[in-house]
Structure 1
Amino acid sequence: MSEPQPTIHVVDDDEAMRDSMTWLLESEGYTVACYDSAAGFLAARGDHMRGCIVLDVRMPEMSGLELHEKLEALGSRLPIIFVTGHGDVPMAVSALQRGACDFIEKPFNDEDLLSRIRRALELDAELSAREQRNHAIARRLEQLTLREREVMQLVVAGKLNKQIADALDISMKTVEAHRARVMEKMGVRTLAELVKAVMTLN
């Protein structure tokens, strides 16, 4: 399955603001999708969306902050940049503390917005790469037999082959064979790499 195109999702009930942001972002070569309400974005949202959200704090029916809470509950990891009026800064700071990526205060200049969007897209790329690594490790773990998992857990816990053999009531030779298969199936060469891979998923 091909990786979805990173898109800047602009959620704002102000049509003039949506139009000016679209013009600016498309002129910089970005793909843009606009929504005139939080509900409109939720209806279009998919789990595999890439990019970031530029989200107005104050909107009728469902505010930007309420949308942020809903997205958190849905497990969305798209970075959010809040667009705020002067009086909304305390709310935006509170949203940052709850995991939003950034906020920008109106009126803002184009370069300020673009630099924040670049940072948000870098963050999205990092999160996506980490997610792919985690999926790959999880798939490798699924290939291990129950005994190989037991051996791996003891290896990762720092046990020596003799201690593992005693704990599982098997021979040292069998421990070595299992250990070699664990390293091969997990795609690692060193104990340090194995520990890192297992810790990634814990």
Structure 2
Amino acid sequence: MNARNLFIVDDDDVVRASLQSLMSVRSGLSIRSFRSGDAFLAELPMLDPGCILLDLHMPGASGLDVLKTLARQGEKHVAIILTGQGDVIRAVQAMKAGASDFLEKPCDHLSLLAAVDHAFEQLRQSTAENDRIRAAQDKLASLSSRELDVLKGLIDGRSNKIIAYDLDISPRTVEIYRAKLMEKLGVKSLSEALRIAFAGGLIPNPD
């Protein structure tokens, strides 16, 4: 099993050491610490996906600044914000900016472990969903323009005859294109093809 990456970003040396000591009891964790938001952001492009224990108040780039940068990077990291006691307003701002959870310092160790486990599960689900989307997009990209036209006709609920009329080809040719696109998508039914079309963004989600 690959190690799960945990990044601790806090300007307080004692807090960083305490968090690292506490989280080291969990097997399978690869832990790295950063003494500032700026130090973390400097290495962010090279870091693997993982969970971040992120202090809210730091000199230079604050926790909110880090969250804003993470939002532009996609869903590679899940952040848990660490706040001072009673700093609920800023914690809410952090949640709106994309934080998974927030904990007041000093952190209850059981609450911290539970929050980290939840963050890793969020990351796992997000990664699996992104993989599914990319796989669907790759399959759709393998279709020829004519096969894609036929698929769009099927998505619109048109019969082979109507699709043939719209594309100015014979119904038999539509059947051939349909068989080819099903083969390329690796599906045996129209419902499976539609699921790939949805996942790949060919069918827009309703507002």
Both proteins in one fold, TM over 0.5? yes
Is the aligned partner of 1:179 residue 2:181?
A: no
- On the 8 A contact 1:4/1:50 being kept in 2, the answer is no
**Partner SS for 2:16:** helix
Gaps in structure 2 of 5+ consecutive residues: 202-207
**Partner SS for 1:79:** strand
* Correspondence for 2:23: 25
CA distance in 2, matches of 1:42, 1:152: 43
Q: CA deviation at 1:99?
A: 2.2
**Partner SS for 1:173:** helix
Q: CA deviation at 1:73?
A: 2.5
Q: CA deviation at 1:76?
A: 4.5
- On the 8 A contact 1:22/1:32 being kept in 2, the answer is yes
CA distance in 2, matches of 1:69, 1:105: 21
CA distance in 1, matches of 2:3, 2:158: 45
CA distance in 2, matches of 1:26, 1:122: 18
Is the aligned partner of 1:58 residue 2:57?
A: yes
* Correspondence for 1:101: 100
**Partner SS for 2:103:** strand
After TM superposition, the structure 1 = structure 2 runs for residues 52-201 of structure 1, keeping only pairs within 5 Å, are 52-201=51-200
Give the structure-2-normalised TM-score: 0.90
Deviates more, 1:84-93 or 1:145-154: 84-93
Deviates more, 1:30-39 or 1:65-74: 65-74
Q: CA deviation at 1:87?
A: 3.6
Q: CA deviation at 1:5?
A: 4.2
**Partner SS for 1:86:** coil
Give the structure-1-normalised TM-score: 0.92
What's the RMSD between the two structures over aligned residues? 1.7
Gaps in structure 1 of 5+ consecutive residues: none
CA distance in 1, matches of 2:163, 2:90: 54
